[in-house]
């Protein structure tokens, strides 16, 4: 194994251990003259960096662009990079998406992209009946489930991934795929909601009446981002006519899934760094 290949595999292990998302790009076929070799791998990270060698600058732009797209929607895909003069359609005769190369070598490279995304995280703030039920369902659905509640209340939960006794959600570095639900229901409501609104999560919801939530938002005022306040799901959950804690928790998870899937479909088709036909 070459040193470059070994370094790439080591990087993949480190990214897995640290819980970071990445995409593996593997050369599966080459034709004509090209510096790329079948089996060569590169890793695309969330910041758009390409680690490893699978053909140099001729393919790096396409690898970055398609790798980021795969990370965005979680779907594997294959592309073919060909000389610009050989490309007249957006897909080849076998249906593979085409990208152009200006390299003088004139070779063709087929690359397979496999996104390695960590489980989306759900942070549940509070230890109310809705909170405990929500955490239980979230674990069953494969979310990395984090509970933030008073230490004396944490024994109400079981099987979750992480617990916190504070609402310092900024330390979690949450992103678009993650969710925060405030289900404190009378205990540290304002503190929890303020933290949730500033968390950076793609979904933020609060359990409670519209009147109560509006009052809390007024109290928080400019201490939380205006766009996050406008996007708040409050009361959290789909309108299922839910009454019992189990029903409310189910409606909230349904809404989270709906928001996440909608966001994935809306991901921009053009990302900097590559040229598609």
Report d(CA 209, CA 158) in Å as an integer. Answer: 28
49-63, 150-164, 233-247: the lowest-pLDDT one? 49-63
pLDDT higher than threshold 60 for residue 166? yes
E-strand stretches of the chain: 22-31, 41-45, 50-52, 77-83, 97-101, 108-116, 121-125, 144-148, 162-164, 179-182, 203-206
Outline which parts of the chain fall under CATH 3.40.50.720: 121-264
Kindly indicate the confidence band of residue 268, based on its pLDDT and cuts at 50, 70 and 90: very low
pLDDT higher than threshold 70 for residue 270? no
Convert the pLDDT of each residue in 21-53 to its tens digit. Answer: 999 999 999 987 788 889 999 999 999 999 998
Predicted TM-score (pTM) of the model is 0.71
Mean pLDDT (the chain, rounded) = 89
Domain topology for 121-264: Rossmann fold (3.40.50)
Percent of the chain with pLDDT over 70: 92
The mean pLDDT of 250-275, rounded to a whole number, is 70
211: its two tokens: 């009147």
* Residue 271 pLDDT: 38
The mean pLDDT of 140-167, rounded to a whole number, is 96
Q: How far is CA 147 from CA 133, 144, 179, 213, in A?
A: 12, 10, 12, 21
* Residue 93 pLDDT: 67
């Amino acid at each position: 194994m070459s040193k470059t290949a070994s370094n790439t595999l080591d990087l993949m292990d480190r990214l897995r251990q640290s819980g970071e998302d990445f995409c593996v790009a593997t050369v599966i076929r080459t034709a004509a003259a090209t510096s790329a070799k079948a089996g060569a791998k590169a890793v695309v990270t969330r910041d758009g960096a390409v680690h490893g060698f699978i053909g140099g600058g001729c393919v790096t732009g396409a690898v970055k662009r398609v790798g980021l797209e795969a990370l965005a929607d979680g779907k594997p895909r294959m592309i073919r990079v060909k000389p610009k003069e050989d490309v007249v359609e957006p897909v080849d005769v076998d249906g593979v998406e085409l990208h152009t190369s200006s390299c003088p070598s004139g070779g063709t490279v087929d690359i397979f992209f496999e996104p390695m995304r960590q489980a989306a995280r759900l942070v549940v703030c509070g230890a109310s009946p809705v909170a405990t039920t929500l955490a239980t369902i979230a674990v069953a659905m494969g979310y990395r489930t984090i509970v933030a509640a008073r230490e004396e209340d944490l024994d109400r939960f079981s099987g979750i991934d992480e617990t916190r006794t504070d609402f310092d959600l900024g330390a979690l570095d949450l992103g678009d795929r993650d969710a925060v639900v405030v289900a404190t229901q009378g205990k540290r409501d304002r503190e929890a909601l303020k933290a949730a609104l500033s968390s950076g999560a793609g979904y933020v919801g609060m359990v409670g009446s519209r009147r109560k939530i509006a009052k809390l938002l007024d109290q928080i005022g400019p201490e939380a981002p205006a766009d996050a306040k406008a996007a708040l799901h409050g009361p959290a959950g789909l309108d299922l006519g839910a009454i019992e804690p189990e029903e409310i928790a189910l409606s909230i998870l349904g809404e989270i899934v709906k928001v996440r899937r909608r966001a994935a479909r809306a991901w921009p088709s053009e990302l900097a760094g590559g040229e598609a036909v």
